Structure 1
Amino acid sequence: MLGREIFLMKRKLLTGVFSWFGYIMPFKKRIELIKKAGFDAVSLWWEDEDESNRKDMPKLAREMGLIIDNVHFPYNDCNLLWISEKDVETDIIRKYFLWLEECAENNINLVVMHVENNAPFSPNEKGIENMLKLVDKAKELKLKIALENTRKNEYLDYIFKNINDENLGFCHDTSHDWLSSKGKFDSLKSWGDKLLCTHISDNDGKEDRHFLPAKGVINWDEYVKIFPKNYNGILSLEICATKDEVNSIKPEDFLKIARERIHTIFF
């Protein structure tokens, strides 16, 4: 319980949640409910939705009184960062540069990205070379990149061991870490000093379920015990209601429960 006591002695950290939390409704309605539930911030997925252009989302969220914690880039093609083929390399860097520029134009100062998507090859120098290009671009645009731990963290480890830059940090996903390290939070222990943002959710010990905290098997006392005590970012959830929850709990009540859970963990 010492971890909680330390947090209580520090200033109150803000709380946030990902803009998609499992209920099908327009973006504007979702962020309205997020604000009403008492969250301070929201994280965004950087793709257009049916009724909302991604470039409009930050403005809509801010008008609702929410802070933009971070923007999460799509990761379908992230394996291409490790490919040496010139045309492929040029295309993927151009895509990331475009997204970084769009975020800068919308006063976003933190982006999250994956560095592998079940990659079939080993981490290599080409990946480092390409990541340095993205870090330099981020520095030019005055924003930071947070790399998220996934299920194959040798890629994340390889990058952090080879690049030490204040514009490159860590996004810790509790569910991914619990699954990949079998309950030891290895990624948080290794890279917590680089922590810029969080993806907090629970799971069943088998798959990345995006459960509400305390719905699954994660040991939250252990998490708080090793959580960086100098972290001054936002405590953000990345949760998704199950089918049963969507059918039995109103979205506003689901979000209220979510906020209560994050406060129970830390406060």
Structure 2
Amino acid sequence: MFSWFGYFMPFSERIAAIADAGFDGVMLSWEDEEAPNFISRYDFPKLVRDAGLSITNFHAPFIGYSQIWERSLEENRELLDFLVRILKDAADFDVSAVVVHTVDMELGDYTFENGYAFFTELAEAGERYGVDVAVENVTRQFLLYELLDRIQTPHFGYCYDTSHDYMLGCGSGRLIAAYPDRLKALHFSDNDKTVDRHWIPGEGFLPLTSILQTLDRMDWHTLSCEVIAPFWWQERTPQDFCVAVQQGLKKLLRNLGE
């Protein structure tokens, strides 16, 4: 389960809620937390592992990506070096993958070769450190398709986000069908097919059973949830929320076996 799930509370308490709900791993947002109290990201791995959890992947900060396509590689050198350092951090902490985005919400005038050069160097760093670069299926999914076609290194692939996929006209399961062997990370959640809400699995209208069947055929068995507690959950405890996520997953898996 993702370490941030919609409640403002100390990092260690969120991790404890995830562990107590029965999860065995956590995905970490790889940036320092400022509120409700400061904690360095470099303290995260020990706190997580002390709670008995493994670390599935790091998620790089998710802003600033559109400039990858809008500017030249040299103009983006600082951002590239920043992401390469995160790959090194992942290697240092024995974490197998880093999730990045292709773009922000908006994208101005761009040149594909700018992004191709950037992600080629990032992929080379992934090979150097033995860490997967998992590019998430956000908007402009055609850019991700082209990157996957042109960058064939073993540690370069994608992060499949179910909620994002079913908000895109080009989505609806096409990505995992087209590139079953390039999946490096999973963000599993539900929504109402209207807004990208990241609800508890089973509380929305996505064909999650069908997605699970596809993942099973791909021999993918790391079911990792990126969920955000909506406003009606905020009056209930974060522990209750995490338990509800676990129960939603178990119900889907029972249905899958029937």
Q: Normalising by structure 1, what TM-score?
A: 0.87
Give the whole-Å Cα distance in 2 for the aligned partners of 1:31 and 1:239.
14
Matching residue of 2:242? 255
Matching residue of 2:115? 127
Deviation at 1:228?
Answer: 4.7
Partner SS for 1:43? strand
Partner SS for 2:234? helix
Aligned ranges 1:78-227 → 2 under 5 Å: 78-85=65-72, 87-117=74-104, 118-122=106-110, 124-181=112-169, 184-227=172-215
Deviation at 1:123?
Answer: 5.5
Give the whole-Å Cα distance in 2 for the aligned partners of 1:170 and 1:179.
17
TM-superposition CA deviations, 1:130-182 (whole Å, max 9, x none) = 11111111111121111110122011111011111111122110000011037
Instruction: Report the CA distance shift for 1:204/1:165 in structure 2 as closer, same or farther (over 3 A).
Output: same
Give the whole-Å Cα distance in 1 for the aligned partners of 2:73 and 2:161.
32
Aligned residues: 250
124-133 or 75-84: which moved more? 75-84
TM-superposition CA deviations, 1:104-152 (whole Å, max 9, x none) = 2222221101011132245612211211111111111121111110122
Matching residue of 1:40? 24
Give the whole-Å Cα distance in 2 for the aligned partners of 1:205 and 1:100.
33
Is 1:235 matched with 2:219?
no
Given that 1:45 and 1:73 are in contact with CA atoms closer than 8 Å, whether structure 2 keeps it comes out as yes
Give the whole-Å Cα distance in 1 for the aligned partners of 2:49 and 2:136.
25
Matching residue of 1:77? 64
Give the whole-Å Cα distance in 2 for the aligned partners of 1:20 and 1:134.
26
TM-superposition CA deviations, 1:62-83 (whole Å, max 9, x none) = 1111010000011211122224
For structure 2, list consecutive stretches of 5 or more residues without a partner in the other structure: none
Matching residue of 1:12? none
TM-superposition CA deviations, 1:193-220 (whole Å, max 9, x none) = 2112210111121211111112112122
Partner SS for 1:42? strand
Give the whole-Å Cα distance in 2 for the aligned partners of 1:123 and 1:202.
33
Q: Normalising by structure 2, what TM-score?
A: 0.90
85-94 or 103-112: which moved more? 85-94
| Letter in structure 1 aligned against 2:93 | N
Give the whole-Å Cα distance in 2 for the aligned partners of 1:234 and 1:157.
23
Identity across aligned pairs (percent)? Answer: 30
Root mean square deviation of aligned Cα: 1.8
Partner SS for 1:55? helix
Matching residue of 2:234? 246
Instruction: Report the CA distance shift for 1:243/1:198 in structure 2 as closer, same or farther (over 3 A).
Output: same
For structure 1, list consecutive stretches of 5 or more residues without a partner in the other structure: 1-16
